[in-house]
Structure 1
Amino acid sequence: MKQCSFRKKLIVFLTVAGLALSVRPEASSAETKPRTDCVRRLLHELSRAHLEPGMAEQEGFRAGLRTAERPLSEFQPEQRIRVTRRNSRGEAVRGKIRVLVDHPTADIHIIADFNDWGKKLTAADRLRPIPDTPYYEGDVRTLKHGMQYRLLVNGQEVFDPTSSTITTPQLFKKLTGREEDHLNSVFWDSERPGGYRFKAPSISLRDAPIVSAQLDLWGLPAKWPFRGRNGPATIGDTYRFIAESGIIDWLKHEGQYNSVRFNPFGPSIDGPGWRFHYLVINQYGVNSKFGTPDEFRQMIDAFHRAGIAVQADIVAAHVPTSGNWGIRSVTGTGALGWRKADGSTLYGAEQTEWGTVYFDFANPFVRRHLIEGVLTMLKEYNLDSLRLDHLDGIIRRKGGREFLRQLTGEIRKYKPEVVIEAEVFHHYPGLSHASDLGGLGIDFTTQAEYTLFIRNNLVRPITEIDTGELHTALHAPFNHGEFHKVFALTNQDEASLKYAPGMGAYPHDLTQNLGHEMSIRKIQSFGGLSMFSGSYYVDTPPVRLLQKGNFDDQPAVEWGARTQDDVIRNSRFFKTLSTYFKTEPAFAPQYLRRSIENHVDHQNKVVSLQRFDPQSGKHVYALVNLGDRQLLDYGFGVDRSANCKLVLDNHDQEFGGAARLRKALSQKASLTSDAQGMHGKAASLTLPIVEPYSFIVLELDP
């Protein structure tokens, strides 16, 4: 017994230490990382006895056991410009350029200012095939930071799909002082003297509960007050404004987010809305519309100093065939401008439903091109997490599974702590199975059944709410062997697209027919349900700020609402809930269990959730009233008879409620579960009052 007691205490200590190291900005520094890895590995080994069957084979569990095989700093892509000579001041002056061609007789030159954009070509500007490979390589005889260039392939000008960025009018002005529309590749020398150097380490959320904010690069800062104005002076100052304006402090302290997820960072087709950001034309760079690559690094660094992880949305499924107008057109100049000897397109040909083209995953060199793009983004921009867009489209293509397996394997080789999420709406064998056990190695996937539940039920009256859909959603991940899921109250798709009644607007807009106060309570109950159903939760600041409208027409966050009393109380609820969720070990992803659903009351539309910390023995219960009826003396089953503590009720006074439950409980000597069982449980707990749209958190003593 003494040995068991010591073991239990040791595991409790390591659990707390592991969570603390996961959320502290300094946890990934060179000095503390070995200790962090040691704690995590030991914690994993000691916790195996408490795992849900099948958990030990999940990528989300096994990745925490790994250490990097090679430093990410040593990674070098096959393609791109690399510096071969610097002057005495450390500035790049010469280089080599290598590109994927797969055309043994192609005539290829680099064109730039140094040869009057091809009018004064020399033999030194020619790229030549590398024997026994599909690559061409040549010299860049006058290389300098900020150099714009293109490639001339068999007389056709194309841009380099692996360049640091692509020119925009905003970048042109920063580089030359002029606003021009030319679409050129850009060499950005991140190692030059004066280039931005990261000051904070990346953030690891491995084994930690995640609260993530869905953000739009322009919408986040557009109305944030700073230095006498709202938003950045120009759209080209966006990255720097986010870094310097204090908006990250709000996300950290008031939002209690520990992760942020933007729309894709890569250079994309021009356009005003978020959808255009998914038409990515370069997988190796960042969009210069919002600032320079150095300013992007500054923004990432600012998030890391705040202890917030940054996720990159990776569009590796498809590429646009056309877009933009005039001299910025990508028709014939983008990735599909590259052709093989037989005239077929190098990167892909199969059309998607959006008019783009799927990458040719059956081509191992195209797969390598995409993998190296992801590794380049991780290396150059210190990113912490990845979301793979449209995984359904990847996995159904020939070579798609091999691409995913190679991609996750390479990421684990260099940076195993990266959290890999996939947008996917169907179940596939081995999707979340560990990559070192032959699976595809995805940590978290979209909880499609839960997304469907929100779409169908958020706006329904109590008589039409289908709690059977919720039951299916809570059990589906385990039934399909995919334990780790992303539960979102809303995101950019749900707040924009109108496929179902509970879509196409922000939640406060969708539920306003209930009246202002009841709409707030319903958002809180569904938000709490979403958060406590898994270990990875997503919403967006407009949820906290009770914003109306939709993500298409009103992407700008209405920061001016922060001072309104109802917004203050709603934000305080989500802040309190997020803080508890992030710091309570019971919500750690390795402790996910089938028994999360504690009971479902189909008649009253009430559900209770159970989370359990096997190390301390603490049970956390959430009682969620999804309906508009007040319930008196409501009982539900719990695992054992013990003293219980009310942690949080969204009807508490600090959240704008009358606190009837808390006041009623204050009249009792204690809140104790009864030995009389209910709902198939050994004991039961009765609450004197459950308000409409309640979200109540209770702790059962160990």
Structure 2
Amino acid sequence: MTSKKTAPVKKTVPDPRKSASVKKSASAEQKPPKDRPAKPGRKPAAARKKQPVSPALSAEDRARLLDGTHHDPHTVLGAHAVPGGVAFRAFRPYARSVTVVSGDLRAELHDDGAGFFSGLLPLREVPEYRLLVAYEGEVQETEDAYRFVPTLGELDLHLIGEGRHERLWEALGAHPTTHQGVPGTRFAVWAPDARGVRLAGGFNFWDGTGYPMRSLGSSGVWELFVPGIGEGELYKFDITRPDGSHTLRADPLARRTETPPATSSVVTASHHEWGDAEWLAHRADIPVHEAPFSVYEVHLASWRPGLTYRQLADQLPRYVGDLGFTHVEFMPVAEHPFGGSWGYQVTGFYAPTARLGTPDDFKYLIDALHRAGIGVIMDWVPAHFPRDEWALAEFDGRPLYEHQDPLRAAHPDWGTLEFDLGRREVRNFLVANAVYWCEEFHIDGLRVDAVASMLYLDYSREPGQWIPNEQGGRENLDAVAFLQEMNATVYRLCPGVVTIAEESTSWDGVTRPTHHRGPSGFGGLGFGLKWNMGWMNDSLEYLRHEPVHRAYHHHEMTFSMVYAYSENYVLPLSHDEVVHGKHSLVSKMPGDWWQRRATLRAYLGFMWAHPGKQLLFMGQEFAQGAEWSEAHGPDWWLLDPAYGAEADHRGVRDLVRDLNSVYRRTPALWQRDTDPSGFQWVVGDAAEDDVLAFLRLDAEGNPLLAVSNFSPVVRHDYRLGVPDDIPAWSEVLNTDAAHYGGGDIVHPHPVKTEPQGWHGRAASVRLTLPPLATVWLRPA
């Protein structure tokens, strides 16, 4: 009930300035004097007046509040106009007394036992009031949380019910705010199967008994505004399950959490002032598939172990900017309880991990990268979530975020649970989450993890462990609809943002617009880019072989061009390729240390020239020999000159810097990544030579010639067919250069085009191909 301001309340008890205890639960009935009979035809006074009500709670309401099963505590607690005046009721466990204070009025409520207090004051309307609550050794003056109207409106509840609240984080969760002129925090949580929900936190000694929340109808949302609660307070929701048992849960939409292993949610508000307006204004100028896009993948907690978000903001932009990458990609930063999961088992989908700082600290890091001209991609994990009993699993006592069907709920590979993507509220939770990171944290792209595991009902399942869809197929139609909705929503609301699928199958149309149907009958999934797992697997398999055997595996380096334009691709050399016994990139290569480094340099040169965008995991840019460990991160000491790093590790890092530099200045290498006219084979069948050569062309037809020699021998006067309208070619990059640690077989002068036809072209050039090296040339 909304309270109204009134004139100062006049005396309603003998001395309002003294604490007047309301001793009776109802006013005495006024009766006519016994010596004066009632007039004929006149009703008794008791019939003319409404009988005053008892302010005390009924036994049923008391029991429901004590059990945590009351759906609408605001109707029975607080102040309510009733016959005979205004009834005040408070539920304050452990309190010695509760006194209503309104202007000059001080009225101590009757102690009804078990933490309940009540009183009936002869007032005409509900006044503005506060409560004085006396505990042993302490008296608190506070607003009454049960005098406030709901903080969520009908539109919010309607959109939540329909699963279309695109800014769900602004409706649910904890938000410091001023409500009805009073500062406090509003709490809201979706728990449709709960018999009751209470709020527990540090402010009530983790006993939610006296803080029941109200159910907002059929929406399944429970809400409570708590005056006087502000930023930094810890809280959880005490949920009464359908069987009557209780579970204490973190807020699914908490925007800040405690540092693991602690699991509480934290009330927070952002105070960061962004300085990246120029970046945001121009990030959509060029579509990402037509722009330079080279990505440095980072695990923030181990890049430089011990650094906070703000300390990373001082070092990471400088390092990445020096190497020339256009973007960084953060492995998942959403809160996760187990650091060894690298962030891929998320419990706090709306909270950056507290291990490195606050949400505003994380914004500071992104802001610093943007001001340095570096975009930010974030790994996003909607495929599954862990079973921790304080998080999302059976959140309100029954499967809620996970699928009701056990065959659909359990992820077979990771011991986690899969989201019920057919439930509109769950889809809303995830779609809004994607928008949240882009809007609130200015993220420039979402790399969606494990898309393949979402798309197929039989993913990692044996016959009998899955049920076909309504069409009899193995496609997860709910996941298809969800991914289409997520991509369409992000692209509509967040201009310049790109979504990237980690998808390892031949699903048709991953990067096709959602409204375009393909041969499979499904619309496109709507991603902007897709990881080319086939290119990664094939090329690494080719390079694992000794050079003498590579002739028999030559197709593994050329097959990618058969399907290169079926999707918009990223070429990923990610963290997954340098862990769990797979060895680091340089350690995958055969031969001695020199040959391994040379092969890695040649491979990186081939990769940067190949159609598609590039992604390289941290530590691989300087040929780290050991696998990545999240415990200690990259082996930075390898770059120390005292260890001879100039020729070994710093040389590879310098190559990566130059690859990015030439790449960004050469539109032929990125402008037509998704257009077949931007690529021409020069020679793709020289298997016996272990040589691949091709042309990349920009929109005006300007070429770059890339030649890779994956054999350990020098190939002199190696003739290659080239366009006859270019008189000479200059070498712009050679991975065998001495300053990269190579043998320095280079072309210091332009190479003239000769009129001798070769490889089906009217002209040709003769090159000296260094061993295990890639050479780039462009018109002199």
For residues 12-65 of structure 1, what are the alpha-carbon distances to aligned partners after superposition, in whole Å with 9 as ceiling and x for unaligned? xxxxxxxxxxxxxxxxxxxxxxxxxxxxxxxxxxxxxxxxxxxxxxxxxxxxxx
| Structure 1 match to 2:202 | 113
Helix, strand or coil for the counterpart of 1:285?
strand
1:655, CA displacement in angstroms? 2.8
**Residue 234 of structure 2 contacts residue 266 of structure 2 at CA under 8 Å; is this kept in 1?**
yes
**Residue 77 of structure 1 contacts residue 372 of structure 1 at CA under 8 Å; is this kept in 2?**
no
For residues 179-208 of structure 1, what are the alpha-carbon distances to aligned partners after superposition, in whole Å with 9 as ceiling and x for unaligned? xx5411112111xxxx22222245637332
1:218, CA displacement in angstroms? 2.3
| Structure 1 match to 2:646 | 565
Distance 1:147 1:134, change over 3 A: same
Distance 2:724 2:673 in 1: 19
2:512 to 419, 433, 436: 433
Q: Kindly provide the amino acid, as one letter, of the partner of residue 580 in structure 1.
A: V
2:776 to 681, 697, 700: 697
How many residue pairs match? The answer is 563
1:280, CA displacement in angstroms? 0.6
| Structure 2 match to 1:39 | none
Q: Kindly provide the amino acid, as one letter, of the partner of residue 293 in structure 2.
A: I
Distance 2:479 2:724 in 1: 48
1:86, CA displacement in angstroms? 7.6
What is the percent sequence identity of the aligned residues? 20
**Residue 490 of structure 2 contacts residue 497 of structure 2 at CA under 8 Å; is this kept in 1?**
yes
1:287-686 equivalences in 2 (<5 Å): 287-321=353-387, 330-331=388-389, 333-339=390-396, 343-348=398-403, 349=406, 350-352=409-411, 353-396=413-456, 397-435=476-514, 437=516, 438-465=523-550, 466-478=553-565, 481-482=566-567, 484-488=568-572, 490-498=573-581, 504-511=582-589, 513-552=590-629, 556-562=633-639, 563=641, 564-566=645-647, 567-594=649-676, 595-600=679-684, 601-615=686-700, 617-643=701-727, 644-663=729-748, 666=749, 671-686=751-766
Distance 1:431 1:508 in 2: 31
Distance 2:401 2:615 in 1: 37
- More displaced stretch, 76-85 vs 387-396: 76-85
Distance 1:344 1:76, change over 3 A: closer
Q: Kindly provide the amino acid, as one letter, of the partner of residue 756 in structure 2.
A: Q
TM-score, normalised relative to structure 2: 0.68
Distance 2:600 2:680 in 1: 21
Q: Kindly provide the amino acid, as one letter, of the partner of residue 443 in structure 2.
A: L
| Structure 2 match to 1:126 | 213
| Structure 2 match to 1:47 | none
| Structure 2 match to 1:265 | 333
Where does structure 1 lack aligned partners over 5 or more consecutive residues? 1-71, 170-180, 223-231, 322-329, 499-503
Distance 1:589 1:555, change over 3 A: farther
Distance 1:299 1:580 in 2: 27
Helix, strand or coil for the counterpart of 2:564?
helix
**Residue 620 of structure 1 contacts residue 700 of structure 1 at CA under 8 Å; is this kept in 2?**
yes
Q: Kindly provide the amino acid, as one letter, of the partner of residue 148 in structure 1.
A: L
Q: Kindly provide the amino acid, as one letter, of the partner of residue 421 in structure 1.
A: I
For residues 630-654 of structure 1, what are the alpha-carbon distances to aligned partners after superposition, in whole Å with 9 as ceiling and x for unaligned? 1111112224341222212122343
For residues 250-282 of structure 1, what are the alpha-carbon distances to aligned partners after superposition, in whole Å with 9 as ceiling and x for unaligned? 2211x21121112100111223x3x34111112
Q: Kindly provide the amino acid, as one letter, of the partner of residue 147 in structure 1.
A: E
TM-score, normalised relative to structure 1: 0.75
Distance 2:631 2:761 in 1: 47
For residues 215-266 of structure 1, what are the alpha-carbon distances to aligned partners after superposition, in whole Å with 9 as ceiling and x for unaligned? 12122113xxxxxxxxx4xxxx52122113x34312211x211211121001
1:227-306 equivalences in 2 (<5 Å): 232=306, 237-244=307-314, 246-253=315-322, 255-271=323-339, 273=340, 275-306=341-372
Distance 2:230 2:214 in 1: 19
1:674, CA displacement in angstroms? 3.3
For residues 72-116 of structure 1, what are the alpha-carbon distances to aligned partners after superposition, in whole Å with 9 as ceiling and x for unaligned? 99886442233441899xxx932333322232x631122223333
**Residue 676 of structure 1 contacts residue 684 of structure 1 at CA under 8 Å; is this kept in 2?**
yes
For residues 419-451 of structure 1, what are the alpha-carbon distances to aligned partners after superposition, in whole Å with 9 as ceiling and x for unaligned? 211111012222111235452211111112111
- More displaced stretch, 108-117 vs 460-469: 108-117
**Residue 102 of structure 1 contacts residue 346 of structure 1 at CA under 8 Å; is this kept in 2?**
no
**Residue 166 of structure 2 contacts residue 435 of structure 2 at CA under 8 Å; is this kept in 1?**
no
1:487, CA displacement in angstroms? 0.9
Distance 1:102 1:135 in 2: 7
Q: Kindly provide the amino acid, as one letter, of the partner of residue 192 in structure 2.
A: D
Backbone CA RMSD of aligned residues: 2.5
Distance 1:525 1:658, change over 3 A: closer
For residues 265-315 of structure 1, what are the alpha-carbon distances to aligned partners after superposition, in whole Å with 9 as ceiling and x for unaligned? 0111223x3x34111112111110121112111111121121111111000
Higher relative contact order (CA 8 A, sep 6+): 1
1:210 maps onto 2:288 in alignment: no
Distance 1:645 1:355, change over 3 A: same
Distance 1:262 1:618, change over 3 A: same
For residues 652-672 of structure 1, what are the alpha-carbon distances to aligned partners after superposition, in whole Å with 9 as ceiling and x for unaligned? 343344543325xx4xxx523
Distance 1:266 1:74, change over 3 A: closer
For residues 153-201 of structure 1, what are the alpha-carbon distances to aligned partners after superposition, in whole Å with 9 as ceiling and x for unaligned? 11221111110122126xxxxxxxxxxx5411112111xxxx2222224
Where does structure 2 lack aligned partners over 5 or more consecutive residues? 1-164, 241-245, 457-475, 517-522
